Structure 1
Amino acid sequence: MRTPATGSSRTWFITGASRGLGRAFAVAALERGDQVVAAARTMRAQDFDGRYGDRLLTLTLDVTDRAAVFAAVDAAIQRFGRLDIVVNNAGTMSSGMVEEFTETEARAQLDVNLFGAMWVCQAVLPHLRARRSGHIVQISSIAALGGFPSTGMYSASKFALEGMSEALAMEIAPFGVKLTMVQPGGYWTDLYSSMTMTSPMEEYASLRAELERQWAEGSIDSEPRLAAEALLTLVDSDDPPLRLLLGSMVYDLAFDISRRRMRTWAAWEQVSRAAEHAVPAPGTTG
């Protein structure tokens, strides 16, 4: 683990930076003296005070617009000359049973959470590869650990993000560029209050009522500041992990899900192994 030396400030590009975790990440970076490009679909003047001066560049950006993403990265490079840390934090949450989703609603979830992050990665990578350094941080979710009732499409978007990111991490490693997927638990942001809802089907009324009962029992979320402190520790590391869990609940859940999957795989081992027996390619002899 290392801490940047005095005067060795870095430049961050953070999406979804006007509120919630994204804003906490931006403030934490600015408070340590770094430069920040804070991008968001709705960026307001009051989202940041004026004390950061020319170390802060705010941009209005819809990450689903690929051309706009490339233009925003170009503006960041023109302003600061380099990027060191890229945080793909922009995201939305759609809640509903899988059967309830319209095609438009399902595609919208993927457009932001998967393709938005992909466009940012494509835009920044030429700059990071040229410098043979940099760290991309993908803000994933507890929903990437498993699917849960009413979060199917949100989980699908985060599963897809992690599948893409795991491959990307291996593709960019030879260029000295690092990638980490961060899987946060609950934080006091507006993710839940701003999420969209499907039109409910009567057939799922009892399941929805049970979910509401469970949610009413409450989960205690944490301050975004704690996630920001963890992120600073992450980007200061000389050997950052491919994945980082944030929070005791998500940590315990990750191990619980992994153990249950391993028990199932072991129980079906005989069937799995019996399904493989190498033979020559069809049409060949010998």
Structure 2
Amino acid sequence: MKTWFITGTSKGFGRVWAEAALERGDQVVATARNLDSIADLAERYPDTALTVTLDVTDRDAVLAAVAQAKDRFGRIDIAINNAGFGVFGTVEEVSDAQARAQMDTNVFGALSVTQAVLPIMREQGAGHIIQVSSVGGVHAFPNLGIYHASKWALEGFSQSLAAEVAGFGIKVTLVEPGGYGTDWGTASAVHADPNPAYQPLRDAMAARRGSTPQGDPVATGPVILQLVDMDQPPLRFFLGKGLAQMIRAEYDNRLTEWDTHAELSQQA
């Protein structure tokens, strides 16, 4: 039996993964900003589910929630930083407040949870931290620059983290989903005030999204269970179809560009 600590479990991936873990008999600390949205988990699994109100941008609340999890179940085997959202807007359009809120949740929220669970996992000599990144953590599209910045930051500190904690028996995995039928791009999204100059770009991106099939979030539950059961889980893990081909092309373009200008680079 494993004990999970998951942020953002009111819907989407967090909800699916919490239910998958509980259904197989694991213990889950499910957190969300609105406790009513996850109250049914505690009702259905009174012995193995602990529901906690949590806004990950409140560091003191994060520390208290992790302490509550330790008090209830004695350990934390898996911590999943799933809470997050996307800001839609070009770099010129996004407000300072929107950019800072994006970083506060997607980067600093994940950092607070990570720092809170690490002493427990070091004491245990084991643990698995799963950072929910995105295919947008290794690629970037127009109209999502600040969101990409948050995920690239998450990828960077998590790769360093993996090297820092390997000697303590702690694993780190960046889960990089593609497009799924969650409300990430709808109800949960934040939109910058539009500048008409960028409307053709927005129209093109909307058409592209509309023609791309969306994955079923429920199908990810069994996959995540297999991932957390691995003895040697990967640092990076694509979640969804067609992502490896997309990113392989992106990295081929990067290598070509670097090689093209290699002679000039080495003159410095």
TM-score (norm 2): 0.96
Residue 210 of structure 1: which of 189, 194, 204 is its match? 204
Paired residues of 1:85 and 1:136 also in contact (CA < 8 A): yes
Q: Distance in 1 between matches of 2:37 and 2:14?
A: 16
Q: Give CA deviations for 1:47-105 in whole Å, capped at 9, x if unaligned.
A: 63533122000111000000000000000001101100000000011100000111111
> Which ranges of structure 2 fall in alignment gaps of 5 or more residues?
none
Q: Distance in 1 between matches of 2:139 and 2:37?
A: 38
Paired residues of 2:38 and 2:51 also in contact (CA < 8 A): no
Q: 1:223/1:157 Cα in 2 relative to 1: closer, same or farther (>3 Å)?
A: same
Q: Which residue of 1 aligns with 2:134?
A: 141
Q: How many residues align?
A: 266
Q: Which residue of 2 aligns with 1:43?
A: 35
User: What is the aligned-residue RMSD (CA, Å)?
Assistant: 1.2
Structure label with greater radius of gyration: 1
Aligned partner of 1:41: which letter?
R
Q: 1:122/1:46 Cα in 2 relative to 1: closer, same or farther (>3 Å)?
A: closer
Q: 1:188/1:199 Cα in 2 relative to 1: closer, same or farther (>3 Å)?
A: same
Q: Distance in 2 between matches of 1:54 and 1:255?
A: 45
Paired residues of 1:16 and 1:39 also in contact (CA < 8 A): yes
* Identical columns (%): 47
Q: Which residue of 2 aligns with 1:195?
A: 189
Q: Distance in 2 between matches of 1:226 and 1:266?
A: 40
Q: Which residue of 2 aligns with 1:250?
A: 243
The Cα of 1:170 is off from its aligned counterpart by 0.9
Q: Which residue of 2 aligns with 1:278?
A: none
Q: Give CA deviations for 1:222-241 in whole Å, capped at 9, x if unaligned.
A: 11122222211111111111
Residue 100 of structure 2: which of 98, 107, 116 is its match? 107
Whether 1:174 aligns to 2:167 is: yes
TM-score (norm 1): 0.90
The Cα of 1:191 is off from its aligned counterpart by 0.8
Q: Distance in 1 between matches of 2:89 and 2:216?
A: 26
- 2:18 is paired with a residue whose SS is helix
Q: 1:272/1:103 Cα in 2 relative to 1: closer, same or farther (>3 Å)?
A: same
- 2:158 is paired with a residue whose SS is helix
Q: Which residue of 2 aligns with 1:116?
A: 109
Q: Which residue of 2 aligns with 1:156?
A: 149
The Cα of 1:195 is off from its aligned counterpart by 0.1
